[in-house]
Amino acid sequence: MKIVFACCDPIYLKEHGEAFAKSAIKNGETPWIHILCDEETKQEILNQNSFDWHIGCHFSFSDIEPKDRMMYACSRFIVATDIIRQDNVSEMLIVDIDGFLRKPIDWDDFKNCDYSIFTRDPLPGTVGWENEGTHVAAGAMYLRKSGYSFIDTVAHNLMENIKKHGCIWFMDQVILWKVHQNIKNLKFVQMPSKYIDWEFNEDSIIWSGKGNRKNQKNYLEERKSAS
């Protein structure tokens, strides 16, 4: 099974989960949402009758309630190590929950690789940690089982750094970049921008709701029609 995977808290699930899941299902894809929350909230979510869109969407949970936004960004890559190892999952596209699909995923874009991330030149004027982190936009990653060593190394480094330093802004991007530079014997292809588009181009497959851009009229209208 090929899945489109996102990770979020209960608030973002309520705000963006339906559009994410329905847009994926509408385009023939299988959505999977991992929710970070305590056990009580998990049961509340599972018992809600308002989730009439859950059919066709897979859910998983972690009994954790992160204290800051950066932890959510890091958690999806840690959780992905467990998801990709499941027998029924062969490939996954990891994306932001506040994005949505406008077209089916062309999985052939990734047929010759083990993993894919969006690398770029660092943002102008940045130095040090920020410069290193902006080599990667972390809003989309492709992974197949053969790329497990990449995501496992990323997850291990994230957990070690969180334990030592807490969640630091750009931590996920810095570690993705460092692991990408040093990983051996895996095939990589550049993540096509059509899967991580926050400029809302008409030919893109996924529109990502980066920051306040998700309040733009064209994003909101397209999201409504996509779901």
Domain ranges of the chain: 2-226
Across the beta sheet with 58-63, the strand order is: 58-63, 30-37, 2-8, 91-95, 136-144, 115-119, 188-190
- Mean pLDDT along residues 92-108: 96
What's the CATH fold of domain 2-226?
Spore Coat Polysaccharide Biosynthesis Protein SpsA; Chain A (3.90.550)
- Mean pLDDT along residues 116-130: 87
Of 103-107, 131-135, 197-201, where does mean pLDDT reach its minimum? 131-135
| Residues 6+ away with beta carbon under 8 Å from 61 | 34, 35, 36, 37, 42
pTM confidence score: 0.93
Confidence of residue 179 (pLDDT cuts 50, 70, 90): very high
Pick the most confident of 36-45, 64-73, 121-130: 36-45
- Mean pLDDT along residues 168-197: 95
- Quick one: tokens of 220? 């909101």
Of 118-127, 185-194, 200-209, where does mean pLDDT reach its minimum? 118-127
3-state secondary structure of 6: strand
In degrees and rounded to multiples of 5, residue 96 shows phi and psi of: -80, 140
| Residues 6+ away with beta carbon under 8 Å from 62 | 34, 35, 36, 37, 75, 79
The pLDDT of residue 54 is above 70: no
Q: Looking up tokens 């998983």, which residue turns up?
A: 60
Measured between alpha carbons, how far is 104 from 203 in angstroms, rounded to an integer? 12
Position 114 scores a pLDDT of 98
Residue percentage of the chain with pLDDT more than 90: 64
**pLDDT tens digits, 27-45:** 999 999 999 988 888 888 8
